[in-house]
Structure 1
Amino acid sequence: MHPALDHIALVVFDLDGTLIDSAPDLATAVDAVLGERGLPPAGVDKVRDWVGNGTHKLVERALTDATRASGEPASEADVDAAHARFLIHYGAAPCERTLLYEGAGELLETLSAAGIACALVTNKPAAFLPPILERFGLGDRFAVTVGGDTLARKKPHPDPLLHAAERTGISPDRALMIGDSRHDVAAGKAAGFRTLAVTYGYNHGEPVRDSAPDHVVDTLAELLPQGETLSPHAT
């Protein structure tokens, strides 16, 4: 297997931008909220750059961008109200256009077969995780699932990763964090994990290599054992 997995007993995955491309559905919900306020849509390209710090921050960034021309920034109360509406819109359709990235399903299956524990640590609210994981048949792949509101602190703080290590009984020095952003790399380093970054995800428009992860891949398929092929449905 890939050198990043040498002596690894636990792999912690980020979700958005790592296992799934959720930006289209996130953008639909963001644009619905903006439309309710008579503001122009943000569109999926901007939303890709705003994802990574939880849905409240996503909505705050969208409102800030949409109201910049008016010179009247959104208040904290405005953001809270808009976020509440976002949760309703996104909760109604969290995976209509979301796709599983190439190699994601196969890698999780391979790790499970190899006896390597997997955990999911995301800043997305935990309530959205079951329908998304069920949609892609990943509900039984994770020994531990941590959402952005599961603990008091979320990534880039190391607590969610350390929680996953504690729950699985695996030492951080035998754990690998796989993510797409500087927040994932920072959380992994702070937790004492090895880190691996994927280049295709959401990192606020910055090259993820700049965060100095231990390993970088262009697709999760690169982590599959040499010679293993992807199934025809991989997207």
Structure 2
Amino acid sequence: MHAILHGKRLIAFDLDGTLVDSVPDLAIAVQKALGELNLPVPEEVQVRDWVGNGAPMLVERALAWAVQQPPEANLQARAFQAFMTHYGSAPNALTKLYPGVKTALEELYCAGFTLALITNKPERFIAPILEHFGLNAWFSHCIGGDTLVEKKPSPLPLLYVAEAGSFSPDECLMVGDSRHDINAGKAAGFATLALPYGYNHGEPVELSQPDIVLSSLLELVRPATAWDRIGLA
């Protein structure tokens, strides 16, 4: 196991951009919602930079792009309802696990770590995604963006999960792909681990100064040797 896990008992994971690449399905739902309102439709690459603060903010960013100004409340409500309907009808059509995720989670679970999921995605979409990929049995708690009164980058969801398991913050690790994950982890007193392949509004996650950056979750359970890193293994 990686040294960052020394003394840790709870590992909290983000979902979108960390465990799964969900942008293709999110983009389709955004495109259909805006299309119903006769508004311009963004490309998937644009939607990728809007993900990370929950569904309401995703829709607000998409609308602001489409109308070139802050959207009115009525338009926001209509677009959000349409997005939720379309996304809810097919949250797994194109979503994929990132390489190594399932193996890493299984090995961490079998090693005795408590695993939690803390995402800004609406709670109603978490179970279908986890069940689709066969991950649901490994998480003791799943917290969505609307589960509690605050979401990441607030530390509240992290502290809630730690308290529920009677873990102190120094026994906990937050794993994510964006500044919201890293900032929430730091505010909660968790160690922080960043993955560089997800969604971070177009900026390197290293700028958030996590405790460590790994290229894959597999490196948590099978740390790279010096030979691996220079490509000689």
Query: What TM-score, normalized by structure 1, do the two folds share?
Result: 0.93
- The secondary structure found in structure 1 opposite 2:138 is coil
Q: Please state if 1:147 is matched with 2:148.
A: no
User: Equivalent pairs: percent with the same residue?
Assistant: 54
The aligned amino acid for 1:182 is R
- The secondary structure found in structure 1 opposite 2:136 is coil
User: Across the two proteins, how many residue pairs are aligned to each other?
Assistant: 224
Match of 2:107? 110
- The secondary structure found in structure 2 opposite 1:17 is coil
Match of 1:8? 8
Q: Which range moved further: 213-222 or 186-195?
A: 213-222
Separation in 1 of the partners of 2:93 and 2:29?
11
Distance change in 2, residues 1:169/1:113 (3 Å) = same
- The secondary structure found in structure 2 opposite 1:34 is helix
Q: Any idea what the Cα deviations from partners look like across 1:27-54, whole Å, max 9, x if unmatched?
A: 0000001111112221211111100000
Q: Does the 8 Å contact 1:56/1:80 carry over to 2? A: no
Separation in 2 of the partners of 1:226 and 1:64?
43
Write out the 4+ residue segments of structure 1 that deviate beyond 4 Å after TM superposition.
Answer: none
Separation in 2 of the partners of 1:127 and 1:149?
9
Separation in 2 of the partners of 1:196 and 1:95?
26
Separation in 2 of the partners of 1:226 and 1:19?
18
Deviation at 1:223, TM superposition (A): 1.4
Separation in 2 of the partners of 1:12 and 1:182?
15
Deviation at 1:222, TM superposition (A): 1.6
The aligned amino acid for 2:55 is T
Separation in 2 of the partners of 1:125 and 1:40?
25
Candidates 129, 134, 139, aligned match of 1:132: 129
Q: Any idea what the Cα deviations from partners look like across 1:84-105, whole Å, max 9, x if unmatched?
A: 1110000000010000011111
Deviation at 1:203, TM superposition (A): 0.1
Match of 1:27? 27
For structure 2, the residue ranges without an aligned partner over 5 or more in a row are 225-233
Q: Please state if 1:168 is matched with 2:165.
A: yes
| 1:1-235 matches, cutoff 5 A | 1-68=1-68, 73-226=70-223
Deviation at 1:124, TM superposition (A): 0.4
The aligned amino acid for 2:165 is T
Separation in 2 of the partners of 1:167 and 1:42?
41
Separation in 2 of the partners of 1:223 and 1:83?
37
Separation in 2 of the partners of 1:25 and 1:224?
30
CA RMSD of aligned residues (A): 1.1
- The secondary structure found in structure 2 opposite 1:210 is helix
Deviation at 1:224, TM superposition (A): 2.1
Match of 1:231? none
Separation in 1 of the partners of 2:200 and 2:4?
21
Separation in 1 of the partners of 2:6 and 2:31?
43
Separation in 2 of the partners of 1:44 and 1:219?
24
For structure 1, the residue ranges without an aligned partner over 5 or more in a row are 228-235
Query: What TM-score, normalized by structure 2, do the two folds share?
Result: 0.94
- The secondary structure found in structure 2 opposite 1:143 is strand
Q: Any idea what the Cα deviations from partners look like across 1:156-193, whole Å, max 9, x if unmatched?
A: 00000001101111111110000000000000000000
Distance change in 2, residues 1:195/1:162 (3 Å) = same
Separation in 1 of the partners of 2:54 and 2:130?
18
